[in-house]
Amino acid sequence: MFKDLLIYINSFFAFLLVLSGYSVYFSPASIWFPAFYGLAYPFLLIINIIFIFLWFLWFSKKRFTLVSIAAIILTWSSFSALFNFSMPNHSDSDISVMTWNVKNFDLYNWSHNKETHELMMQLLEKEKPDVLCLQEFYTETSGNFKNIAELKMRLGFKYYYFGETFSVKNGTKKWGLATFSKFPIKDHGTIKFDDNLRLNACIYTDIAYKKDSIFRVYNVHFQSLHFADEDYKYFSELKEEQKADVASSKKILKKIRNGFEKRAIQALKIKTEMDAFEGKKLICGDFNDTPTSYTYHVLSNNMKDSFKEKGFGFGNTLVNPTPFFRIDFMLVDESITVNSYETFKKEYSDHYPVMVHLEL
């Protein structure tokens, strides 16, 4: 009787895993609830793996493992985007590209460490990427955060494009996205999103890495969740096993749903722009969505995921207690070879920096 019940439970979670994997085909702008199943994919995967070991080791019923194994195979694309095992293969013709949401270079001292800004600069100075794409970028014309001037001086960047999205005090303090390059930038521009006030946008730069060879870099920061202080306080209270508040839960779920919907529209807009460009290209940045999302599905079409090409282990890029949330990506043309992928597990921002070596 217990085994029969367990088979039904196993089948239910296998079905949820398949539903989660295929939720990427539904635009949250049209139907929003499948996006929540996509968010749950890592946890549903773990449950199904537990069932496989349970049937195989405890009950010695190997044939029952096929239920979960079939579900994993059907969602293999999502599985391979979560965990990968490959080795780097450097070449003399590599170009290194780094993407990092720097959270304003710790402008508001969220890390409670006054040395964080300097540590971030030291990391960049040590790695010396050829192309550097930064989101939640902040700079000022005077003070301790003249980040454009500092990056040019310390890393030797000759070229950059700063896409300003917001400024205060007569433009002396500015926020936006920035792309720095050791190669000449021949063209650039900003693609703004509708119904977005400050932080989120996409910039592009056409970089001449050889005399007659240009590739376009899209540096993007998709719709954020905009959690307020009381939202984070509520999360902390839940961790401490305090009673859940219905009103707070509904408000947070509404913000998550709103983020899904807006990112779906933004992703389609950027994909249309990308498809119109006929040369080599890559897109990187903070997607604020996981690989089991409509956003990722749209943008990765006819593109290579650099993590799936050369990543190792879990590809999480968000600083949090779980190893599953990869929301920072670098997708490249199918004609571009990915030789290495590295995530630097430094908690200077709420995102880890990612650097990829490419052969164009």
Q: The CATH number of the domain where 307 resides is what?
A: 3.60.10.10
198 close to 165: Cβ distance less than 8 angstroms: yes
On whether both 20 and 112 belong to a single domain, the answer is no
Considering the domain architecture, whether residues 34 and 117 belong to the same structural domain is answered as: no
Please, what's the b/e burial string for 190-219 (b: 16 or more CB within 10 A of its CB; e: otherwise)? ebebeebeebbbbbbbbbbbeeeebbbbbb
Average pLDDT over the chain, rounded to an integer = 90
User: Could you tell me if residue 89 is inside a domain?
Assistant: no
Residues 65 and 127 in one domain: no
Is 192 within the bounds of a domain? yes
Kindly tell me if the per-residue pLDDT of 59 is higher than 80: no
Domain end, chosen from 74, 108, 130, is at 74
Whether residue 85 is contained in a domain is answered as no
Q: Answer positive or negative: Cα dihedral of 27, 32, 37, 41.
A: positive
- Return the closest-CA partner of residue 144 out of 162, 121, 163: 121
pLDDT tens string 118-146: 999 999 999 999 999 999 999 999 888 99
**8 Å CB contact between 326 and 313:** no
- Over residues 335-346, mean pLDDT: 95
Decide if pLDDT at 240 tops 90: no
Residues 112 and 64 reside in one and the same domain:
no
Decide which of 45, 74, 103 is a domain's last residue. 74
Name 295's Cβ contacts closer than 8 Å, sequence gap at least 6. 222, 263, 264, 266, 267, 287, 288, 289
- Of 74, 108, 134, the position where a domain reaches its end is 74
82, amino acid identity: L
pLDDT at 34: 94
* pLDDT surpasses 80 at 234: no
The answer to whether residues 105 and 143 belong to one domain is yes
Residue 53 lies in a domain: yes
Query: What global pTM score does this model have?
Result: 0.91
27 and 104 share a domain?
no
User: Would you say residue 157 lies in a domain?
Assistant: yes
Same domain, 136 and 169: yes
Instruction: With a cut of 70, say whether residue 195 has pLDDT above it.
Output: no
Q: Dihedral through CA 91, CA 126, CA 317, CA 157, nearest 10?
A: -80
Same domain, 99 and 68: no
Q: How many CB atoms lie within 10 A of CB 6?
A: 16
- What percent of the chain has a predicted confidence (pLDDT) above 70? 92
Domain count for the chain? 2
Are 134 and 69 part of one and the same domain?
no
* Inside any domain, residue 87: no
Task: Give the residue numbers spanning the domain of 45.
Answer: 2-74
pLDDT score recorded for residue 233: 46
How far is CA 46 from each of CA 42, 175, 219, 321, rounded to the nearest angstrom?
A: 6, 39, 33, 16
Which pLDDT tens digit goes with each residue over 261-307? 999 999 999 999 999 999 999 999 999 999 999 999 999 999 999 99
Residues 54 and 123 in one domain: no
| Domain match, 105 and 32 both | no
Sign of CA dihedral 337, 340, 345, 346: negative
- Over pLDDT 90: what percentage of the chain? 73
Does 67 share its domain with 100? Answer: no
CA 309/CA 88 separation, integer angstroms: 10
The 10s digit of each residue's pLDDT in 21-42 is 999 999 999 999 999 999 999 9
